[in-house]
A and B are shown apart, each in its own frame.
Chain A
Amino acid sequence: MDFNDTADEAKFRAEVRSWLEANAKPKSAIGFSAENPRYQRNETEALKVAKAWQAKKAAKGYARITWPKEMGGLGGTPMQQVVYNQEESKFDVPSGFFEIGLGMCIPTVTHYASKGVAARFVKPALYGEEIWCQLFSEPSAGSDVAGLRTRAERDGDDWVINGQKIWTSGAHYSDYGILLTRTDPNVQKHSGLTMFYLSMKSPGVEVRPIKQMSGGANFNEVFFTNVRIPDSQRLGNVGEGWKVALTTLMHERLAVGGGQGGTGPDIRELLSLARDTELEDGPAIRNASVRERIAEWYVRGQGLKYTTYRTLTALSKGQVPGPEASIAKVVVAPRMQDLSAFAMDVEDMGGVMTGEESALHGAFQQSYMWAPGLRIAGGTDEILKNIIAERVLGLPGDMRVDKDVPYNKLPTGR
């Protein structure tokens, strides 16, 4: 057992690091802080910076390490992608705008569209010139996404789209999207779906930001009113949209993380808060109940970190990671929520205050307000537990009352 790179990994790490050093600035010590300028830029400005950085990465082949060279990647291994992510996470560079496009949409388009179409879209996406979004979820189709209602009706060489999508990350700055629609409501719900790609500038597409409970607006509603999509923009066969969607989601799962450190305040910040906060009987760090909770979250966090190490070990050996990789999000999100709530308890009556003038610039307050979303986005805690139970443990699927029932005969509730 060791935590060392193999010779090849060490060589690649050195290459990556020297390139990053020449092209970016190291992160300041406090990663999460609002002092970090990237949290203060407005989105238009942030997008501009991100596109410039993406173009630089793409020119070097680092935008998608595992893609073959002919697609503009580096033809590297998943482990090399991890090494790159680890190194990049130490630098103050933008992230986040291109992951959906490159991680899910482009692989789907490449898989199902003609070579010419794929060639048209790959490079602009890789260089950050065009951004993609994923239009799957709907107000009535969240965890049960195959229950979606957005209609696509054939009209000559076109399809006419009417309906609404929701929770679409980045729709407001996206150029293209992949869109899952219902083309046949008379058959079982999974069988009547068809996938398309479309320009987000198409007439009849309207994007409205959703104001979240945390105050921000990271997601959108997207409305489709008589939007025309040529049949040439169909991905996969009519009625096989579910199969195409599974390809997309499979790519989502294959996208391996590996950057260290989360996005919110964690044990380091909790310890610092406990040191600086005077309780009725002395500093919080000396209080037994505070210490016990710190230890519990620390152990849980370390457990995740070492689970990642196990996954990386498999990748490093060229193996498929074991099922333990599936536990991360179901631990991370509730932990963030409870840890933040407890940190606010340490501040007692003052814990209600947030913003720049409050303790740690309100980092725990912000993460308390963000955590409920994290427990839902990208698979709710409940769906993730179903996945572990069924795919890892081999327990039976739930009884499906919608099985063998045509979509348009399903009860819909309110």
Chain B
Amino acid sequence: MNFDFSDDQKMLRDQARKFLTEKCPPKTVRKVLESDGQYDQALWKQICEMGWTGTAIPEAYGGLGLGHLELCVIAEEMGRVLAPVPFASSVYLATEALLIAGTEEQKKKYLPKLAAGELIGTLALAEGAHPPSPRTIKTTFKGGKLDGVKTPVADGEVADFAVVLARSSDGAGERSLSLAVVDLKGSGVSRRAVKTIDPSRGHAEITFKGASAEALGPAGEGWDLARRVLDRAAVLMAFEQVGGADACLAMAKDYALNRYAFGRQIGSFQAIKHKLAEMYVWNELARSNAFFGAWALSTNAPELPEAAAGARISATDAFHFASKENIQTHGGMGFTWELDCHLYYRRSKQLSLALGASRVWKDRLVNHLEKKNVA
């Protein structure tokens, strides 16, 4: 049994934590939150220079050629500090889509630049306030042209290209959808920022009017490919969520030890102790589920869809609980703009929605359990 990260991976995690603690204090997150900056360019530049964007990209395509376990430990640290950069969009989504579905030519075209941070990519699925599905996707990809509106698209204003899920044939079946990759700076593309609950991560509405695009993966396999990309991203994002949840517990604990009421530390009241103990329990369950996801992702195991769903559901629950109870532990101060509790509360919800809500993942998980014939 060796269900843990290696010493080298733990060393990488420690380096990432040290770097991000120093370079990404809460005021860096706030700066993006309180401006229309979309992301912190200085931080992003340094992250790219260290090669983190190319962690899981093979050396042949200009990456570090490490692997997904290494990416997981970095993701946890990004989540811990709420790094306001397009890492998830570019690395977990766009890069993974190209890795699993790109032609040799597409990989050569995009991956080295993604690794170097010369290009920012994103994935555009949603078309408004309902889940994207073969029944609801209206954007079309026909004759090499994209038409339709995608919103919200994470990092959509700053991304150089997007992988877009669009209708390539009529009908409402899964086979009616395809993936396309489109230059967001090309003609026929317009975009505008949309307001979200977490302005520390930029989102955009992107309108395509006959924008030239090329297919990513075989026609008619868009839905299947999108779900495979989401499975991979779910594991990585679960580590971000676990990192964020852990940070909430640390904040709540610190406050509980230093805030006095009724002549004693509030952390000596059982109401607070039990709340924090529960946070710890949910965080550890989430971490363990994320570990299993990491194993499945890094070994390309057939269990990946189930492991990804488990990691995502568990991490979403943990971060939600930790971020709301962190505010509660801080009392009135927790509700102020000045304290950082709300940064985590915003991000926990943003991440919980970014790859689709838990409701959808739970349904998919039971699909897999049924297929596995667990009963």
Q: Do A and B come from the same complex?
A: yes
Query: Residues of A at under 8 Å CB distance from B?
Result: 1-5, 9, 267-269, 271-272, 275, 285, 288, 291-292, 294-296, 298-300, 302-307, 309-310, 312-314, 316, 324, 327, 330-331, 382, 384-386, 388-390, 392-399
Residues of A within 8 A of B298 (CB): 1
Residues of A within 8 A of B2 (CB): 1-4, 313, 316
Residues of B within 8 A of A330 (CB): 277, 281
CA distance A324 to B294 in the complex (A): 18
CA distance A194 to B311 in the complex (A): 49
Q: Give the shortest distance, in Å, between A316 (CB) and chain B (any CB).
A: 5
Q: Is B268 in contact with A331, judged by CB distance below 8 angstroms?
A: no
Q: Is B284 in contact with A299, judged by CB distance below 8 angstroms?
A: no
> Do A385 and B375 contact each other (CB < 8 Å), given the known contacts A1-B3, A303-B289, A397-B268?
no
B256 at interface (Cβ–Cβ under 8 A)?
yes
> Do A310 and B3 contact each other (CB < 8 Å), given the known contacts A327-B284, A382-B270, A395-B256?
yes
Q: Which of A271, A314, A386, A397: most chain B CB closer than 10 A?
A: A271
> Do A303 and B273 contact each other (CB < 8 Å), given the known contacts A275-B375, A298-B365, A310-B4?
no
Q: Which of B2, B284, B289, B314: most chain A CB closer than 10 A?
A: B284
Which of B1, B69, B264, B366 contacts A295, CB < 8 Å?
A: B366
Chain B 270-314: CB-based contact to A (< 8 A → 1; otherwise 0): 101110111011001111110110110011000000000110011
Q: Is B365 in contact with A268, judged by CB distance below 8 angstroms?
A: no
Q: Is B3 in contact with A299, judged by CB distance below 8 angstroms?
A: no
Residues of A within 8 A of B256 (CB): 395
Q: Is B284 in contact with A307, judged by CB distance below 8 angstroms?
A: yes
Q: Is B277 in contact with A389, judged by CB distance below 8 angstroms?
A: yes
Instruction: Show 9 residue pairs from A and B whose CB-CB distance is below 8 angstroms, ordered by the A residue.
Output: A3-B295, A291-B366, A295-B309, A300-B314, A304-B288, A313-B2, A324-B288, A385-B278, A395-B256
Residues of B within 8 A of A382 (CB): 270, 274
Q: Is A298 in contact with B310, judged by CB distance below 8 angstroms?
A: yes
CA distance A327 to B370 in the complex (A): 29
Which of A3, A303, A386 contacts B285, CB < 8 Å?
A: A303
Chain B 61-96: CB-based contact to A (< 8 A → 1; otherwise 0): 000000001000000000000000000000000000
B243 at interface (Cβ–Cβ under 8 A)?
no
Q: Give the shortest distance, in Å, between B144 (CB) and chain A (any CB).
A: 39
> Do A1 and B374 contact each other (CB < 8 Å), given the known contacts A295-B365, A303-B285, A389-B274?
no
> Do A393 and B277 contact each other (CB < 8 Å), given the known contacts A302-B292, A313-B4, A399-B268?
yes
B324 at interface (Cβ–Cβ under 8 A)?
no
CA distance A9 to B274 in the complex (A): 38
CA distance A390 to B278 in the complex (A): 13
Residues of A within 8 A of B267 (CB): 389, 395-396
Q: Interface residue count for B (Cβ, 8 Å)? A: 49
Q: Is A331 in contact with B285, judged by CB distance below 8 angstroms?
A: yes
Residues of B within 8 A of A327 (CB): 280-281, 284-285
B253 at interface (Cβ–Cβ under 8 A)?
yes
Residue of A nearest to B284 (CB): A324
Q: Is A1 in contact with B5, judged by CB distance below 8 angstroms?
A: yes
Q: Is A271 in contact with B370, judged by CB distance below 8 angstroms?
A: yes
> Do A298 and B280 contact each other (CB < 8 Å), given the known contacts A1-B298, A4-B2, A385-B273?
no
| Extra 14 A-B pairs, beta carbons < 8 Å, given A1-B4, A285-B370 | A5-B1, A285-B366, A298-B369, A303-B286, A306-B289, A312-B1, A316-B2, A331-B281, A384-B277, A385-B274, A385-B278, A392-B280, A395-B257, A398-B268
CA distance A292 to B313 in the complex (A): 11
Q: Give the shortest distance, in Å, between B119 (CB) and chain A (any CB).
A: 31
CA distance A310 to B2 in the complex (A): 8
Q: Give the shortest distance, in Å, between A318 (CB) and chain B (any CB).
A: 12
Q: Which residues of B, 206-244, contact A by the 8 Å Cβ criterion?
A: none
CA distance A331 to B277 in the complex (A): 12
CA distance A268 to B375 in the complex (A): 5
Q: Which residues of B, 320-375, contact A by the 8 Å Cβ criterion?
A: 359, 361-363, 365-366, 369-370, 374-375
Residues of B within 8 A of A306 (CB): 3, 288-289, 291-292
Q: Is A309 in contact with B1, judged by CB distance below 8 angstroms?
A: yes
> Do A295 and B363 contact each other (CB < 8 Å), given the known contacts A304-B285, A324-B284, A385-B274?
yes
Which of A3, A324, A385 contacts B277, CB < 8 Å?
A: A385
Q: Give the shortest distance, in Å, between B57 (CB) and chain A (any CB).
A: 20
B265 at interface (Cβ–Cβ under 8 A)?
yes
Residues of A within 8 A of B265 (CB): 395-396
